[in-house]
Structure 1
Amino acid sequence: MSLMKIFDTAGSGMAAESLRLNTVASNLANADSVSNSPDSAYKAKELLFAPTRQTESGFGTQNIGEGSNGVRMVGVTESQQPVETHYEPGNPMADGNGYVYGSNVNPIDELVNMISASRSYQNNVEVMNTTKQLMIKTIDLGS
């Protein structure tokens, strides 16, 4: 793998972790939201990623041939955990029986996910910085 392809690979990882951080932020922002039905209650979202192999020209993806490896988002799933039910007859969002339905976001899980995404992003930055330093050293050797 050439050193330039390392930038593509680390860059795709950084983009993926940035999307993951945005998803975590959205989940945390909706952690305390309520709804008048379990179907419309906010459900925690998670991104699905898959490895890719880009062609030399950068157009499209394929699984064979020369190219740079990376990662891409292939979808979004919703948590299958049950939503929280609270009896609050005075709440304007309450259904006919006086219940409101909260989100199924677990703030602890989201914070762990945030730390993991942040560290992965930092690791990709370090890969890029190390590659840049290696390229500079190689140029200095030639002069």
Structure 2
Amino acid sequence: MDPLSAALKIAASGLGVQSERLRVVSENLANAQSTGNTPGADPYQRKTVTFATALDRDNGGSFVRVQSVDLDRSEFPIEYLPSHQAADDGGFVKMPNVNPIIEMADMREANRSYEANLQVIKQARQLISMTIDLLRSQ
């Protein structure tokens, strides 16, 4: 496999995992205030994405893939909201363990990684196009 095709495949794998990461971050942000429906019930639990590399024996390149989407095991913050439907006998409600600031930072990082992989694809396509033009002119 030629180096440009390998670069395209590697960058495409990066696009795929960053897209999945953005989906998970969006889900976390959308549920940042999703509590349980009954007293003492657990709220939405933050999800995290774990990546892994996979070696492509054909070209010797390493691709990235989503290894798993797991639940964040950190504790749920508790707020005093006695009129909430999920409030326990003391008036406390378990809130989701989603920190919007962390999620926004993750979103920014995933977006930048996505854009970087997209630039690699654009550059590789441009080089392929230039190569074809050079071959035509001969």
TM-score, reference length from structure 2: 0.86
Q: Does structure 2 retain, via aligned residues, the 8 Å contact 1:8–1:68?
A: no
Kindly provide the amino acid, as one letter, of the partner of residue 101 in structure 2. Answer: I
Query: Could you tell me which amino acid in structure 1 is paired with residue 115 of structure 2?
Result: Q
**Does the residue aligned with 2:29 lie in a helix, a strand or coil?**
helix
Equivalent in the alignment of 1:5: 6
Contact 1:27–1:45 (CA under 8 A) maintained in structure 2: yes
Question: In the alignment, what sits opposite 2:93?
Answer: 100
- What's 1:61 paired with? none
Structure 1 residue 95: deviation in Å?
2.1
Judge conservation of contact 1:47–1:75 (CA < 8 Å) in 2. Answer: yes
Measured on the aligned residues, the alpha-carbon RMSD in Å equals 1.7
Unmatched 5+ stretches in structure 1: 57-65
Q: Aligned to 2:94, what secondary structure does the other structure show?
A: strand
SS of structure 2 residue aligned to 1:34: coil
For the Cα contact (< 8 Å) 2:40–2:86, is it kept in 1?
Answer: no
Q: Percent identity?
A: 35
Which of these residues, 22, 46, 51, is aligned with residue 53 of structure 2?
A: 51
Q: Indicate which of 109, 113, 121 corresponds to 1:120.
A: 113
CA contact (8 A) 1:86 1:100 kept: yes
1:75 matched residue in structure 2:
68
Alpha-carbon distance in 1 for matches of 2:4, 2:80: 59
Contact 2:28 2:103 survives alignment (8 Å)? yes
Q: Distance in 2 between matches of 1:71 and 1:78?
A: 21
Deviation per residue, 1:46-80 (Å, 9 max, x gap): 10000112354xxxxxxxxx454211111123223
In the alignment, the residues of structure 2 paired with residue 138 and residue 37 of structure 1 have an alpha-carbon distance, to the nearest angstrom, of 64
Runs of 4+ aligned structure 1 residues displaced above 6 Å come to none
Structure 1 residue aligned with 2:103: 110
Matched, 1:84 2:85: no
What CA deviation, in whole Å up to 9, does each residue of 1:10-68 have, x standing for no partner?
Answer: 11100000000000000001111222436x22222110000112354xxxxxxxxx454
Structure 2 unaligned segments of length 5 or more: list them: none
* Separation of aligned partners in 2, 1:37 and 1:8: 48
| C-alpha separation in 2, matches of 1:93 and 1:82 | 17
Letter in 2 for 1:120: S
Count of paired positions: 133
